[in-house]
Protein backbone atom coordinates (compact mmCIF):
# COMPACT_ATOMS: atom_id res chain seq x y z
CA UNK A 1 0.00 0.00 0.00
CA UNK A 2 2.75 2.43 0.90
CA UNK A 3 4.47 2.13 -2.46
CA UNK A 4 1.40 3.47 -4.20
CA UNK A 5 0.37 5.96 -1.54
CA UNK A 6 -0.76 9.22 -3.07
CA UNK A 7 1.66 12.13 -2.88
CA UNK A 8 0.93 15.83 -2.74
CA UNK A 9 1.59 16.92 -6.28
CA UNK A 10 4.05 19.70 -5.50
CA UNK A 11 6.07 21.13 -2.63
CA UNK A 12 3.82 24.13 -2.56
CA UNK A 13 0.80 21.88 -2.26
CA UNK A 14 2.33 20.18 0.76
CA UNK A 15 3.02 23.50 2.47
CA UNK A 16 -0.48 24.69 1.71
CA UNK A 17 -1.99 21.48 3.01
CA UNK A 18 -0.15 21.78 6.30
CA UNK A 19 -1.03 25.47 6.48
CA UNK A 20 -4.63 24.52 5.83
CA UNK A 21 -4.44 22.19 8.83
CA UNK A 22 -2.72 24.75 11.00
CA UNK A 23 -4.76 27.85 10.20
CA UNK A 24 -8.25 27.62 11.58
CA UNK A 25 -10.28 28.40 14.65
CA UNK A 26 -7.06 28.21 16.66
CA UNK A 27 -5.80 31.42 15.08
CA UNK A 28 -8.92 33.46 14.63
CA UNK A 29 -11.20 32.25 17.40
CA UNK A 30 -9.07 30.60 20.10
CA UNK A 31 -5.95 32.77 20.02
CA UNK A 32 -7.71 36.09 20.69
CA UNK A 33 -9.98 34.82 23.43
CA UNK A 34 -7.33 32.85 25.23
CA UNK A 35 -4.89 35.74 24.99
CA UNK A 36 -7.62 37.96 26.36
CA UNK A 37 -8.21 35.62 29.28
CA UNK A 38 -4.54 35.24 30.10
CA UNK A 39 -3.24 38.75 30.34
CA UNK A 40 -2.46 39.76 26.76
CA UNK A 41 1.17 40.40 25.85
CA UNK A 42 2.71 38.19 28.54
CA UNK A 43 0.72 35.29 27.15
CA UNK A 44 1.70 36.21 23.60
CA UNK A 45 5.41 36.16 24.49
CA UNK A 46 5.07 32.71 26.02
CA UNK A 47 3.08 31.42 23.09
CA UNK A 48 5.63 32.61 20.54
CA UNK A 49 8.45 31.14 22.63
CA UNK A 50 6.63 27.80 22.75
CA UNK A 51 6.05 27.86 19.01
CA UNK A 52 9.76 28.36 18.38
CA UNK A 53 11.24 26.07 21.01
CA UNK A 54 8.61 23.38 21.11
CA UNK A 55 5.92 23.52 18.46
CA UNK A 56 8.14 23.93 15.44
CA UNK A 57 10.80 21.31 16.33
CA UNK A 58 8.11 18.82 17.32
CA UNK A 59 6.17 19.58 14.15
CA UNK A 60 9.26 18.54 12.20
CA UNK A 61 9.55 15.41 14.32
CA UNK A 62 5.94 14.52 13.65
CA UNK A 63 6.04 15.03 9.90
CA UNK A 64 9.37 13.25 9.75
CA UNK A 65 7.91 10.09 11.29
CA UNK A 66 5.08 10.04 8.78
CA UNK A 67 7.41 10.68 5.90
CA UNK A 68 9.83 7.95 6.96
CA UNK A 69 7.00 5.47 7.56
CA UNK A 70 4.77 6.32 4.58
CA UNK A 71 1.87 4.60 6.30
CA UNK A 72 -0.95 5.52 8.64
CA UNK A 73 0.39 6.95 11.93
CA UNK A 74 -0.09 3.72 13.86
CA UNK A 75 1.49 1.63 11.17
CA UNK A 76 4.36 4.05 10.62
CA UNK A 77 5.18 4.07 14.31
CA UNK A 78 5.02 0.29 14.54
CA UNK A 79 7.07 -0.22 11.41
CA UNK A 80 9.76 2.30 12.35
CA UNK A 81 9.94 1.01 15.91
CA UNK A 82 10.46 -2.51 14.58
CA UNK A 83 13.15 -1.26 12.24
CA UNK A 84 14.92 0.44 15.16
CA UNK A 85 14.63 -2.64 17.36
CA UNK A 86 12.33 -0.78 19.76
CA UNK A 87 9.00 -1.85 21.24
CA UNK A 88 6.10 -2.20 18.85
CA UNK A 89 3.95 -0.60 21.50
CA UNK A 90 4.95 2.76 20.05
CA UNK A 91 1.99 2.09 17.76
CA UNK A 92 -0.29 2.97 20.63
CA UNK A 93 0.84 6.55 20.29
CA UNK A 94 -1.08 6.61 17.02
CA UNK A 95 -4.17 5.46 18.85
CA UNK A 96 -3.70 8.09 21.53
CA UNK A 97 -3.42 10.73 18.81
CA UNK A 98 -6.64 9.47 17.24
CA UNK A 99 -8.38 9.76 20.60
CA UNK A 100 -7.06 13.31 21.04
CA UNK A 101 -8.30 14.53 17.68
CA UNK A 102 -11.59 12.78 18.35
CA UNK A 103 -12.14 14.98 21.40
CA UNK A 104 -10.96 18.11 19.60
CA UNK A 105 -13.09 17.56 16.51
CA UNK A 106 -16.18 17.13 18.68
CA UNK A 107 -16.09 20.79 19.75
CA UNK A 108 -14.33 22.06 16.65
CA UNK A 109 -17.30 21.07 14.56
CA UNK A 110 -19.70 22.80 16.94
CA UNK A 111 -17.78 26.08 16.91
CA UNK A 112 -17.37 25.90 13.15
CA UNK A 113 -21.13 25.58 13.14
CA UNK A 114 -21.29 28.97 14.85
CA UNK A 115 -19.40 30.33 11.83
CA UNK A 116 -22.01 28.83 9.53
CA UNK A 117 -24.71 30.59 11.51
CA UNK A 118 -22.85 33.86 11.36
CA UNK A 119 -22.16 33.48 7.68
CA UNK A 120 -25.83 32.95 6.93
CA UNK A 121 -26.86 35.84 9.17
CA UNK A 122 -24.29 38.12 7.53
CA UNK A 123 -25.42 37.21 4.04
CA UNK A 124 -28.96 38.09 5.00
CA UNK A 125 -27.80 41.43 6.35
CA UNK A 126 -28.80 40.34 9.84
CA UNK A 127 -26.05 42.33 11.51
CA UNK A 128 -26.79 45.64 9.79
CA UNK A 129 -27.07 48.53 12.17
CA UNK A 130 -26.55 46.44 15.30
CA UNK A 131 -24.49 47.77 18.21
CA UNK A 132 -22.14 45.79 20.41
CA UNK A 133 -24.80 44.89 22.97
CA UNK A 134 -27.24 43.70 20.32
CA UNK A 135 -24.69 41.49 18.60
CA UNK A 136 -23.76 39.98 21.95
CA UNK A 137 -27.41 39.39 22.82
CA UNK A 138 -28.03 37.75 19.44
CA UNK A 139 -25.11 35.43 20.01
CA UNK A 140 -26.37 34.48 23.47
CA UNK A 141 -29.76 33.70 22.01
CA UNK A 142 -28.19 31.47 19.41
CA UNK A 143 -26.12 29.60 22.01
CA UNK A 144 -29.26 28.95 24.03
CA UNK A 145 -30.91 27.28 21.03
CA UNK A 146 -29.61 23.70 20.81
CA UNK A 147 -31.63 22.95 17.70
CA UNK A 148 -29.96 25.60 15.57
CA UNK A 149 -26.57 24.69 16.97
CA UNK A 150 -27.11 21.00 16.26
CA UNK A 151 -28.19 21.74 12.72
CA UNK A 152 -24.99 23.67 12.01
CA UNK A 153 -22.79 21.11 13.77
CA UNK A 154 -24.35 18.38 11.66
CA UNK A 155 -23.90 20.29 8.45
CA UNK A 156 -20.28 21.09 9.17
CA UNK A 157 -19.35 17.57 10.15
CA UNK A 158 -21.05 16.22 7.07
CA UNK A 159 -19.03 18.60 4.89
CA UNK A 160 -15.86 17.44 6.59
CA UNK A 161 -16.44 13.72 6.42
CA UNK A 162 -17.48 13.88 2.78
CA UNK A 163 -14.10 15.28 1.77
CA UNK A 164 -12.29 12.86 4.03
CA UNK A 165 -14.16 9.93 2.53
CA UNK A 166 -13.07 11.05 -0.92
CA UNK A 167 -9.36 10.98 0.03
CA UNK A 168 -7.27 13.80 1.38
CA UNK A 169 -4.94 14.70 -1.43
CA UNK A 170 -7.66 14.77 -4.06
CA UNK A 171 -10.18 16.72 -2.04
CA UNK A 172 -7.94 19.36 -0.64
CA UNK A 173 -5.24 20.57 -2.92
CA UNK A 174 -7.32 22.74 -5.17
CA UNK A 175 -9.25 24.29 -2.33
CA UNK A 176 -6.15 25.14 -0.33
CA UNK A 177 -4.37 26.66 -3.27
CA UNK A 178 -7.14 29.08 -3.77
CA UNK A 179 -8.40 30.05 -0.37
CA UNK A 180 -5.60 30.45 2.10
CA UNK A 181 -4.14 33.53 0.36
CA UNK A 182 -7.58 35.11 0.20
CA UNK A 183 -8.21 34.75 3.91
CA UNK A 184 -4.82 36.20 4.61
CA UNK A 185 -5.53 39.22 2.43
CA UNK A 186 -8.83 39.88 4.10
CA UNK A 187 -7.21 39.79 7.52
CA UNK A 188 -4.57 42.26 6.36
CA UNK A 189 -7.34 44.53 5.17
CA UNK A 190 -9.15 44.26 8.46
CA UNK A 191 -6.01 44.85 10.53
CA UNK A 192 -5.21 47.78 8.24
CA UNK A 193 -8.62 49.23 8.90
CA UNK A 194 -8.09 48.69 12.62
CA UNK A 195 -5.12 51.09 12.53
CA UNK A 196 -7.58 53.92 11.88
CA UNK A 197 -9.74 53.18 14.92
CA UNK A 198 -9.45 54.48 18.49
CA UNK A 199 -8.90 51.01 19.82
CA UNK A 200 -5.76 50.39 17.80
CA UNK A 201 -3.28 51.99 20.23
CA UNK A 202 -4.66 50.23 23.31
CA UNK A 203 -4.82 46.98 21.33
CA UNK A 204 -1.12 47.20 20.50
CA UNK A 205 -0.25 47.93 24.10
CA UNK A 206 -2.39 45.05 25.28
CA UNK A 207 -0.84 42.65 22.77
CA UNK A 208 2.76 43.72 22.78
CA UNK A 209 3.65 45.33 26.10
CA UNK A 210 4.00 42.40 28.46
CA UNK A 211 3.19 42.54 32.13
CA UNK A 212 5.18 39.58 33.32
CA UNK A 213 3.49 39.46 36.69
CA UNK A 214 0.51 38.01 34.80
CA UNK A 215 2.43 34.78 34.25
CA UNK A 216 1.41 31.85 36.45
CA UNK A 217 1.99 28.10 35.95
CA UNK A 218 -1.51 27.78 34.55
CA UNK A 219 -0.89 30.56 32.02
CA UNK A 220 2.27 28.74 30.94
CA UNK A 221 0.23 25.55 30.45
CA UNK A 222 -2.33 27.43 28.36
CA UNK A 223 0.41 28.91 26.19
CA UNK A 224 2.06 25.56 25.61
CA UNK A 225 -1.21 23.85 24.78
CA UNK A 226 -2.13 26.60 22.39
CA UNK A 227 1.23 26.37 20.58
CA UNK A 228 0.52 22.70 19.87
CA UNK A 229 -3.10 23.32 18.97
CA UNK A 230 -2.47 26.11 16.52
CA UNK A 231 0.30 24.24 14.73
CA UNK A 232 -1.83 21.08 14.63
CA UNK A 233 0.98 19.20 16.40
CA UNK A 234 0.87 16.40 18.96
CA UNK A 235 -1.92 14.15 17.75
CA UNK A 236 -0.26 12.41 14.78
CA UNK A 237 -2.47 14.41 12.42
CA UNK A 238 0.50 15.97 10.64
CA UNK A 239 2.17 12.58 10.75
CA UNK A 240 -0.65 11.39 8.56
CA UNK A 241 0.07 14.25 6.12
CA UNK A 242 3.82 13.59 6.27
CA UNK A 243 3.13 10.22 4.72
CA UNK A 244 2.08 12.07 1.58
CA UNK A 245 5.05 14.46 1.49
CA UNK A 246 6.96 14.66 -1.81
CA UNK A 247 10.34 12.93 -1.99
CA UNK A 248 12.53 15.99 -2.45
CA UNK A 249 11.61 18.73 -0.05
CA UNK A 250 13.31 20.26 2.95
CA UNK A 251 11.12 19.61 5.96
CA UNK A 252 12.50 22.45 8.13
CA UNK A 253 11.80 24.93 5.40
CA UNK A 254 8.27 23.70 4.88
CA UNK A 255 7.56 23.65 8.62
CA UNK A 256 9.13 27.08 9.10
CA UNK A 257 6.96 28.57 6.38
CA UNK A 258 3.84 27.10 7.98
CA UNK A 259 4.75 28.43 11.42
CA UNK A 260 5.32 31.95 10.09
CA UNK A 261 2.00 31.93 8.25
CA UNK A 262 0.19 30.49 11.22
CA UNK A 263 1.50 32.94 13.78
CA UNK A 264 0.99 35.91 11.50
CA UNK A 265 -2.64 34.99 10.90
CA UNK A 266 -3.17 34.89 14.66
CA UNK A 267 -1.50 38.26 15.12
CA UNK A 268 -3.55 39.88 12.38
CA UNK A 269 -6.73 38.48 13.88
CA UNK A 270 -5.61 39.62 17.32
CA UNK A 271 -4.95 43.17 16.15
CA UNK A 272 -8.30 43.37 14.38
CA UNK A 273 -10.27 41.90 17.26
CA UNK A 274 -8.64 43.75 20.15
CA UNK A 275 -8.97 47.06 18.32
CA UNK A 276 -12.72 46.50 18.39
CA UNK A 277 -12.62 45.39 22.00
CA UNK A 278 -10.93 48.60 23.05
CA UNK A 279 -12.86 50.91 20.72
CA UNK A 280 -16.09 49.56 22.18
CA UNK A 281 -14.96 49.35 25.77
CA UNK A 282 -15.51 45.60 25.83
CA UNK A 283 -13.81 43.07 28.09
CA UNK A 284 -10.80 41.29 26.52
CA UNK A 285 -11.48 38.32 28.80
CA UNK A 286 -14.95 37.86 27.32
CA UNK A 287 -14.24 34.17 26.56
CA UNK A 288 -15.13 31.90 23.63
CA UNK A 289 -17.63 34.38 22.23
CA UNK A 290 -15.00 37.09 21.72
CA UNK A 291 -14.50 36.75 17.97
CA UNK A 292 -18.20 36.33 17.32
CA UNK A 293 -19.24 39.49 19.07
CA UNK A 294 -16.38 41.71 17.89
CA UNK A 295 -16.07 41.02 14.18
CA UNK A 296 -19.64 41.87 13.16
CA UNK A 297 -19.07 45.23 14.84
CA UNK A 298 -15.71 45.80 13.16
CA UNK A 299 -17.09 45.08 9.73
CA UNK A 300 -20.22 47.08 10.30
CA UNK A 301 -18.11 50.24 10.26
CA UNK A 302 -16.57 49.49 6.88
CA UNK A 303 -18.18 50.47 3.59
CA UNK A 304 -20.04 47.38 2.28
CA UNK A 305 -19.57 45.94 5.75
CA UNK A 306 -22.20 43.23 5.36
CA UNK A 307 -20.55 41.99 2.20
CA UNK A 308 -17.07 41.86 3.79
CA UNK A 309 -18.45 40.17 6.84
CA UNK A 310 -20.06 37.46 4.72
CA UNK A 311 -16.84 36.93 2.81
CA UNK A 312 -14.89 36.77 6.03
CA UNK A 313 -17.09 34.11 7.58
CA UNK A 314 -17.07 32.15 4.36
CA UNK A 315 -13.28 32.13 4.30
CA UNK A 316 -13.12 31.34 7.99
CA UNK A 317 -15.40 28.40 7.35
CA UNK A 318 -13.18 27.15 4.61
CA UNK A 319 -10.15 27.50 6.87
CA UNK A 320 -11.85 25.54 9.63
CA UNK A 321 -12.96 23.01 7.05
CA UNK A 322 -9.38 22.22 6.03
CA UNK A 323 -8.43 22.03 9.71
CA UNK A 324 -11.23 19.67 10.59
CA UNK A 325 -10.37 17.47 7.65
CA UNK A 326 -6.89 17.24 9.13
CA UNK A 327 -8.38 16.44 12.52
CA UNK A 328 -10.38 13.59 11.02
CA UNK A 329 -7.51 12.15 9.02
CA UNK A 330 -5.61 10.26 11.75
CA UNK A 331 -8.80 8.56 12.88
CA UNK A 332 -9.77 7.53 9.39
CA UNK A 333 -6.22 6.43 8.61
CA UNK A 334 -6.21 4.34 11.78
CA UNK A 335 -9.45 2.55 10.97
CA UNK A 336 -8.30 2.13 7.40
CA UNK A 337 -5.09 0.58 8.68
CA UNK A 338 -7.28 -1.91 10.54
CA UNK A 339 -8.83 -2.93 7.26
CA UNK A 340 -11.96 -0.77 7.04
CA UNK A 341 -12.79 0.96 3.75
CA UNK A 342 -12.24 4.71 3.64
CA UNK A 343 -15.89 5.59 3.20
CA UNK A 344 -17.01 3.31 6.03
CA UNK A 345 -14.27 4.60 8.30
CA UNK A 346 -15.35 8.19 7.62
CA UNK A 347 -18.98 7.33 8.34
CA UNK A 348 -18.25 5.56 11.62
CA UNK A 349 -16.09 8.40 12.85
CA UNK A 350 -18.49 11.05 11.66
CA UNK A 351 -21.34 9.52 13.64
CA UNK A 352 -19.26 9.05 16.79
CA UNK A 353 -17.91 12.61 16.69
CA UNK A 354 -21.37 13.96 16.01
CA UNK A 355 -22.78 12.26 19.11
CA UNK A 356 -20.04 13.47 21.41
CA UNK A 357 -20.31 16.93 19.85
CA UNK A 358 -23.88 17.12 21.14
CA UNK A 359 -22.41 17.42 24.65
CA UNK A 360 -20.71 20.64 23.53
CA UNK A 361 -23.91 21.87 21.95
CA UNK A 362 -25.86 21.28 25.14
CA UNK A 363 -23.17 22.86 27.31
CA UNK A 364 -24.73 26.20 26.44
CA UNK A 365 -28.23 25.22 27.46
CA UNK A 366 -29.49 22.04 29.14
CA UNK A 367 -26.08 20.82 30.32
CA UNK A 368 -24.55 24.19 31.18
CA UNK A 369 -24.38 23.34 34.84
CA UNK A 370 -23.43 19.70 34.43
CA UNK A 371 -19.82 19.69 35.61
CA UNK A 372 -18.52 16.13 35.58
CA UNK A 373 -14.82 16.92 36.25
CA UNK A 374 -12.71 19.71 37.75
CA UNK A 375 -15.78 21.90 38.02
CA UNK A 376 -15.90 22.25 34.22
CA UNK A 377 -18.83 21.52 31.96
CA UNK A 378 -18.48 19.34 28.86
CA UNK A 379 -17.52 22.18 26.52
CA UNK A 380 -14.89 23.53 28.90
CA UNK A 381 -13.49 20.04 29.34
CA UNK A 382 -13.13 19.21 25.65
CA UNK A 383 -11.71 22.61 24.82
CA UNK A 384 -9.16 22.37 27.64
CA UNK A 385 -7.95 18.88 28.54
CA UNK A 386 -7.19 17.47 25.07
CA UNK A 387 -5.39 20.65 24.03
CA UNK A 388 -3.48 21.36 27.18
CA UNK A 389 -2.62 17.85 28.29
CA UNK A 390 -3.10 15.30 25.52
CA UNK A 391 -1.38 17.32 22.78
CA UNK A 392 1.74 18.11 24.84
CA UNK A 393 1.97 14.50 26.06
CA UNK A 394 1.56 13.20 22.51
CA UNK A 395 4.04 15.75 21.15
CA UNK A 396 6.55 14.85 23.82
CA UNK A 397 6.35 11.15 22.95
CA UNK A 398 6.56 11.86 19.21
CA UNK A 399 9.67 13.93 19.87
CA UNK A 400 11.26 11.17 21.94
CA UNK A 401 10.49 8.71 19.18
CA UNK A 402 11.97 10.84 16.38
CA UNK A 403 15.01 12.14 18.24
CA UNK A 404 15.95 9.17 20.44
CA UNK A 405 14.40 6.00 19.04
CA UNK A 406 14.67 6.32 15.26
CA UNK A 407 18.09 5.54 13.80
CA UNK A 408 19.85 8.72 12.76
CA UNK A 409 20.18 7.84 9.06
CA UNK A 410 16.48 7.09 8.72
CA UNK A 411 15.47 10.28 10.48
CA UNK A 412 17.93 12.43 8.58
CA UNK A 413 16.80 11.08 5.22
CA UNK A 414 13.20 11.91 6.13
CA UNK A 415 14.18 15.40 7.26
CA UNK A 416 15.57 16.13 3.80
CA UNK A 417 18.51 18.22 5.03
CA UNK A 418 22.27 17.76 5.43
CA UNK A 419 24.04 16.54 8.52
CA UNK A 420 24.63 19.89 10.30
CA UNK A 421 21.01 20.92 9.96
CA UNK A 422 19.85 17.57 11.20
CA UNK A 423 22.18 17.65 14.19
CA UNK A 424 20.94 21.08 15.14
CA UNK A 425 17.32 19.93 15.05
CA UNK A 426 18.17 16.81 17.02
CA UNK A 427 20.02 18.77 19.69
CA UNK A 428 17.15 21.24 20.05
CA UNK A 429 14.57 18.48 20.37
CA UNK A 430 16.66 16.41 22.76
CA UNK A 431 17.88 19.12 25.05
CA UNK A 432 15.32 21.90 24.77
CA UNK A 433 11.92 20.75 23.50
CA UNK A 434 11.62 17.48 25.38
CA UNK A 435 12.81 18.77 28.78
CA UNK A 436 10.73 21.93 28.39
CA UNK A 437 7.52 20.07 27.63
CA UNK A 438 8.17 17.60 30.44
CA UNK A 439 8.84 20.40 32.87
CA UNK A 440 5.74 22.42 32.02
CA UNK A 441 3.54 19.34 32.11
CA UNK A 442 4.95 18.31 35.46
CA UNK A 443 4.59 21.80 36.89
CA UNK A 444 1.05 22.12 35.58
CA UNK A 445 -0.14 18.72 36.68
CA UNK A 446 1.53 18.38 40.06
* Residues in touch with ligand TRP (CB under 6 A): 21-22, 24-27, 101, 104, 229-230, 232, 235, 237, 323, 326-327, 391
Question: In the complex, what is the shortest distance from the CB of residue 323 to ligand TRP, in angstroms, rounded to a whole number?
Answer: 4
Question: In the complex, what is the shortest distance from the CB of residue 59 to ligand TRP, in angstroms, rounded to a whole number?
Answer: 11
Nearer to ligand TRP, 8 or 229 (CB): 229
Nearer to ligand TRP, 69 or 199 (CB): 69
Q: Which residue is nearest to ligand TRP (CB)?
A: 26
Nearer to ligand TRP, 101 or 180 (CB): 101
Nearer to ligand TRP, 24 or 288 (CB): 24
Question: In the complex, what is the shortest distance from the CB of residue 343 to ligand TRP, in angstroms, rounded to a whole number?
Answer: 21
Question: In the complex, what is the shortest distance from the CB of residue 315 to ligand TRP, in angstroms, rounded to a whole number?
Answer: 14
Nearer to ligand TRP, 41 or 51 (CB): 51
Question: In the complex, what is the shortest distance from the CB of residue 231 to ligand TRP, in angstroms, rounded to a whole number?
Answer: 6
- List 199's β-bridge partners, or say none: none
Which residue, 124, 131, 114, is CA-closest to 298? 131
Question: In the complex, what is the shortest distance from the CB of residue 420 to ligand TRP, in angstroms, rounded to a whole number?
Answer: 30
Nearer to ligand TRP, 132 or 437 (CB): 437
Nearer to ligand TRP, 62 or 117 (CB): 62
Question: In the complex, what is the shortest distance from the CB of residue 383 to ligand TRP, in angstroms, rounded to a whole number?
Answer: 12
**65, 402 Cβ separation under 8 angstroms:** yes
Question: In the complex, what is the shortest distance from the CB of residue 306 to ligand TRP, in angstroms, rounded to a whole number?
Answer: 26
* Distance in angstroms (rounded) separating the CA atoms of residues 402 and 433: 12
Whether the CA torsion 66, 180, 421, 434 is positive or negative: it is: negative
Classify each residue of 89-98 as buried b or exposed e, where b means 16 or more C-beta atoms within 10 Å of its C-beta: ebbebbbbbb
Nearer to ligand TRP, 112 or 363 (CB): 112
Question: In the complex, what is the shortest distance from the CB of residue 355 to ligand TRP, in angstroms, rounded to a whole number?
Answer: 20
Question: In the complex, what is the shortest distance from the CB of residue 320 to ligand TRP, in angstroms, rounded to a whole number?
Answer: 7
Question: In the complex, what is the shortest distance from the CB of residue 104 to ligand TRP, in angstroms, rounded to a whole number?
Answer: 6
Classify each residue of 54-70 as buried b or exposed e, where b means 16 or more C-beta atoms within 10 Å of its C-beta: bbbbbbbbbbbbbbbbb
Nearer to ligand TRP, 24 or 40 (CB): 24
Nearer to ligand TRP, 25 or 291 (CB): 25
Nearer to ligand TRP, 15 or 282 (CB): 15
* Distance in angstroms (rounded) separating the CA atoms of residues 59 and 46: 18
Amino acid sequence: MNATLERWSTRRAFILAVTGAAVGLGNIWRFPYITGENGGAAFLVLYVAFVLLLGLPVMMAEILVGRAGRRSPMQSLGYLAGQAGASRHWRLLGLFGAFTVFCILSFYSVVSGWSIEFFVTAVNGGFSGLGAAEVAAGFEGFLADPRRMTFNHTLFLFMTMTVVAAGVAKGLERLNNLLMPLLYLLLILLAGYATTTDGFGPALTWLFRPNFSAITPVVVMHAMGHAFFTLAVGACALMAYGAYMPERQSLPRAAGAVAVLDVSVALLAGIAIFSVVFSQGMDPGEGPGLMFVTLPIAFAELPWGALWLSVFFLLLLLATWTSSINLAEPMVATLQGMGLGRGKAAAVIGIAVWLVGLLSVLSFSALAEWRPLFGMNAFDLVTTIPTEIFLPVGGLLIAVFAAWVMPRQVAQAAMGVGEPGFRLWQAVVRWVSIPLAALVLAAGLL
